[in-house]
């Protein structure tokens, strides 16, 4: 009886515990890997959602064509070479004011009758295209153009942003009516290159209705060497 083999139960239990521990560790690693994959997927989806949100509601790329905003935009414009400035505009904006550069769906021209009331011409003769201009006067303000000067609410504007050699004269929309008071919800806009801009001075454009505004220009991102924030461009010369 004394020579019968003895079973070391404690060693056997220890081995079983080791196997159980190893299996548990593998399960924890698998669970941790799966959680990491889920976290990465969630982060990627959130990033994509934010990018889509930004470019849908906040930043829209716009290719500026033409010379009406020279020298602020397209200073080196060459239509034959397709050399144009590219900007970001925001479709989310509040309280547009003097100096803001806006992108406009010019699908209708709004003029003023002799009583200062808005009307649309019987025969539609608007540009019917997307244009980019600078706000000069907003609803409730009075604007006058005379002697190559722009006067808003009785004060002559200092306009360092306009092109050298520009002459600011009427183009037929309100020539016999100045000074005019802009109705609420409308804007008087002009290009910085006054000699090459068809804007609110012209009957084909007239006043801009708030609903015609696509968005406000924020920055020029191309050419990259000419990167510029545009929100305060009215305060300085385009050459600065």
Q: Check if the beta carbon of residue 68 is closer than 8 Å to that of residue 200.
A: no
Position with higher pLDDT, 26 vs 102: 102
Distance of CA 27 to the CA centre of its chain: 51
The per-residue pLDDT for range 144-202, each reduced to its tens digit, is 999 999 999 999 999 999 999 999 999 999 999 999 999 999 999 999 999 999 999 99
46 band by pLDDT with thresholds 50, 70 and 90 = confident
pLDDT at position 217: 96
- The pTM of the full predicted model, rounded to 2 decimals, is 0.78
Q: Check if the beta carbon of residue 102 is closer than 8 Å to that of residue 135.
A: yes
pLDDT at position 25: 57
Q: Check if the beta carbon of residue 197 is closer than 8 Å to that of residue 150.
A: no
Position with higher pLDDT, 99 vs 77: 99
Of the chain, the percentage scoring pLDDT greater than 90 comes to 64
Q: Check if the beta carbon of residue 204 is closer than 8 Å to that of residue 126.
A: yes
How many Å apart are CA 209 and CA 12, to the nearest integer?
88
Burial of residue 235 (CB within 10 Å: 0-12, 13-18, 19+) is exposed
């Amino acid at each position: 009886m004394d020579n019968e083999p003895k079973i070391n139960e404690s060693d056997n239990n220890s081995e079983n515990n080791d196997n159980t521990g190893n299996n548990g560790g593998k399960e924890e690693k698998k669970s941790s890997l799966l959680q990491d994959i889920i976290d990465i997927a969630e982060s990627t989806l959130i990033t994509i959602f934010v990018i889509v949100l930004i470019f849908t509601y906040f930043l829209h790329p716009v290719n500026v064509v033409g010379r009406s905003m020279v020298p602020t935009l397209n200073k080196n414009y060459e239509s034959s070479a397709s050399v144009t400035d590219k900007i970001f505009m925001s479709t989310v904006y509040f309280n547009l004011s003097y100096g803001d550069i806006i992108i406009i769906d010019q699908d209708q021209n709004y003029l003023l009758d002799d009583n200062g009331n808005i009307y649309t011409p019987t025969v539609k003769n608007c540009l019917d295209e997307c244009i980019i201009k600078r706000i000069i006067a907003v609803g409730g303000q009075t604007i006058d153009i005379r002697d190559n000067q722009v006067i808003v609410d009785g004060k002559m504007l200092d306009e360092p942003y306009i092109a050298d050699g520009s002459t600011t004269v009427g183009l037929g929309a309100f020539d016999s009516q100045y000074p005019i008071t802009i109705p609420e919800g409308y804007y008087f806009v002009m290009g910085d290159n006054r000699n090459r801009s068809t804007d609110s001075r012209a009957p084909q454009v007239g006043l801009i209705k708030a609903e015609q505004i696509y968005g406000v220009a924020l920055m020029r991102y191309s050419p990259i060497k000419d990167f510029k924030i545009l929100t305060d461009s009215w305060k300085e010369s385009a050459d600065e």
